[in-house]
Amino acid sequence: MSEHEHSYTMEQTSRLLGISAQKLRRWDEQGILGALRTEGGHRRYPREVIDRLVQANGGGFAEKTSRELASIKKTLAEKRRIIQLLIESEGRYRDLVETSHDLIWQTDAEGRFTYLNAAAHEIFGLAPQDLIGRCFFSFETNGAHVPNRRFLSTLRRNGEVQNHVTHLTTARGDDRWIGINARITRDENGQMLGIRGTARDVTEQHLAIRRAEHVALHDALTELPNRGALQRQVETALNTGQSGAVVMIDMDHFKRINAVFGHGAGDQLMLGLSGVLRNVARDRSGELFRVGEDQFVLHLQEAGREDVLSTAAIALDAVQNYRLETSPNRVVSSITASIGIALYPLHGSEWSALLAATETAIHQAKDQGRNRVALFNPASDALRSSHRRTHWSRLITEALDQDELALYVQPAVQLSTGAEVHHEIFLRIRDDRGNWTEATQFMGTAESLGYAPALDQRVVARMLTHIHEHDRNQRRRYSVNLSAASVADAAWVRELADIVRTSDVPGDRLVFEVSEKAAMENIDATSAFIEQLRPLGARFALDDFGTGFSSFYYLKRFEVDYLKINGSFTQDLRDSSESLVFIKAVNGVARELRRQVVAKGVETAETLGLLKDAGMLYAQGNFLRPVSPLGAASAATRVRGTRRA
């Protein structure tokens, strides 16, 4: 068989396979379907190969090839589309990374930067390329070393760390606090490849937190650390087994200074004394705190008993020798303090016990005549007083927590007719035996420990509820005595005004009483209290008149409706001409100022007769009508010693 019999020409092959001659030439060049060359250069294709291709594809070689090629084209197009999406996604990712305000970073296994985004410049003060090969700790500030080593230790142990804050100094010398999130990257064998993570400049937030902490732990007026800061420092000393002393300096008669010279003078005095006592603290290796309106504390660590007593004596002398000039020709002098000392751990191994011992020592100093130093004495009367305070503190807390308070009532009446002027509310709580105890037993403790405003608010709420639900007599008024702490607290007064304003009880059915002593100790606050409640229709009484600073002049400052004379004057009428003169004088002034005077404590018919002879128009006491539980007293009950109009 000749060569031509063993091969096909290009035209024959094209016809048999259904493929164009041009494609056959291209396949030949690409080695897909090779051709033989004749001497004349013509392409010929092996017959055996072509026949096998035709037979294998059932004569549809061209069609199948087209389908396969179409599938390949489609696959290639899909791959190109996916590659394009990946390119676009990577572009978006790079845009996000490079434009992010957060630092995005990566290091090698040694912690040296291998990548940083553009935020590196703001955080470190250098361009990313200038930071490659360096690390965070290249910029750490003195003091950040130990926390940063802890950070690395935690990272290696847990594999990641979140919200670690470190203090850095930038290449420009600026302080920066940086919050870092980090995670270790590992190979398939668990070997560390490096670290990657994010970081953010948290300087503003960090400084804001530090400012807030400073405010929380410092006195606004003197910038001295406050009671909370003192507690932290003392508790740290106690927990580490140190010894030392708490020296509490309590200004004598500070409220009188406020009353006479004004609160501005009081603030000036505390500022001046803070400077004087700072010097004492510095010279004696102590630290000064302001723990109350009129109280400072010297904390002396690792100081012996004699050193502590000597320091306290120096502080006492410094206070006594201080002079405050409130105006060119007016000087506050003769300032004294009572100083109480408690040693730790001798007088207390816990903060609460140590504080109680210090306050008891203050009471000891005051009981001994003030202007002196007292070291805590567990056998003193002051300690027994402290135990009583603890006892009543527990009962008051239980009464508030369990809302177990009782209200009693006694009317003040017009003597000529027996008509009720108002019903005075009295608070009682249960004692250890379950009996209702009068407020005179516990109110002093409540005021000194800060419970009084909560008790006052609870009494007012109960009174309003009773009036709304049980007493529709629009002419009957109810009176409640408020503590000095409540009246002096502007926020508490605003809340009281809101309660009265939003209640269903008309304001003109309410009388708020403030003791003369409390009013005189804080004249401005009392006036502001009256001014805020007066527009709501409320009326006001100055209670226990004649016991405190009793000054008719100051009556013009207080727009009160009633003066309630203390029962000691009333009950002393038979044996004291001075009491009779006082009551007549109060009646005379009250008429001029259009105030109603109520004599309290009327216990006998004889006292009632003397009051009538003295010109008294209104009175209150058990002889006229005894104190009874709120709601139990009948408005129709006859008042003894009076007649109906």
CA distance 391 to 442: 10
Closest CA to 46 of 58, 29, 34, 55: 34
Q: Are 573 and 579 in contact (CB under 8 A)?
A: yes
Q: Residue 454: how many CA atoms within 13 Å on its side-chain side? A: 13
CA distance 137 to 143: 12
Residue 532 CA, chain-centre distance (Å), reads 27
Q: Mean pLDDT for the chain?
A: 82
What does the pLDDT read at residue 237? 93
Asked which of 1-5, 39-43, 221-225, 465-469 is least confident by mean pLDDT, the reply is 1-5
Residues linked to residue 104 through DSSP beta bridges, in sequence order: 198
Whether residue 464 is predicted with pLDDT greater than 90 in this model: the reply is yes
The string of DSSP letters for 355-370 reads: HHHHHHHHHHHHHTTS
Residue 560: count other Cβ atoms within 10 Å of its Cβ.
24
Q: What are phi and psi of 635, to 5 degrees?
A: -65, -20
Residues linked to residue 480 through DSSP beta bridges, in sequence order: 425, 512
Task: Give percent above pLDDT 90 in the chain.
Answer: 25
b/e sequence 357-370, b meaning 16+ C-beta within 10 Å: bbbbbbbbbbeeee
* Sign of the alpha-carbon torsion through 392, 395, 401, 403: negative
Amino acid occupying residue 440 = T
Angle 300-380-349 from CA coordinates, rounded to 5° = 40
CA distances (Å), origin 4, targets 14, 28, 49, 51:
16, 19, 14, 15
| Across 420-436, average pLDDT | 90
| Across 184-201, average pLDDT | 87
Amino acid occupying residue 585 = A
Helix, strand, or coil here: 348?
coil
What does the pLDDT read at residue 65? 62
Helix, strand, or coil here: 371?
coil
Q: How confident is the model at residue 645 (pLDDT cuts 50, 70, 90)?
A: very low
The string of DSSP letters for 565-615 reads: E-HHHHHTTTT-HHHHHHHHHHHHHHHHHT-EEEE----SHHHHHHHHHTT
Helix, strand, or coil here: 20?
coil
What does the pLDDT read at residue 482? 94
Closest CA to 163 of 185, 147, 139: 147
What is the per-residue pLDDT across 125-148, written as a single tens digit (0 to 9) for each?
888 888 898 887 778 777 666 667
Q: Are 615 and 587 in contact (CB under 8 A)?
A: yes
CA distance 398 to 392: 10
- Residue whose token pair is 């200074």: 257
Strands 192-201 and 287-292: unpaired
Task: Give percent above pLDDT 70 in the chain.
Answer: 85
| Across 264-292, average pLDDT | 90
What is the per-residue pLDDT across 471-524, written as a single tens digit (0 to 9) for each?
888 888 999 999 988 998 888 999 999 999 999 899 999 999 998 878 877 788
**Left (φ > 0), alpha (ψ -120 to 50) or beta: where does 594 sit?**
left
Strands 539-545 and 510-515: parallel
Q: DSSP label at 116?
A: E
What does the pLDDT read at residue 505? 92
Q: What is the pTM of this model?
A: 0.46
Q: Are 151 and 166 in contact (CB under 8 A)?
A: yes
Tokens of 104: 């995005």
Strands 539-545 and 562-565: parallel
What is the per-residue pLDDT across 518-574, written as a single tens digit (0 to 9) for each?
887 778 888 899 999 999 999 999 888 765 444 555 666 678 888 888 887 787 777
Whether residue 366 is predicted with pLDDT greater than 50 in this model: the reply is yes
CA distance 144 to 164: 11
For the chain, the farthest-separated pair of C-alpha atoms sits apart, in whole angstroms, at 165
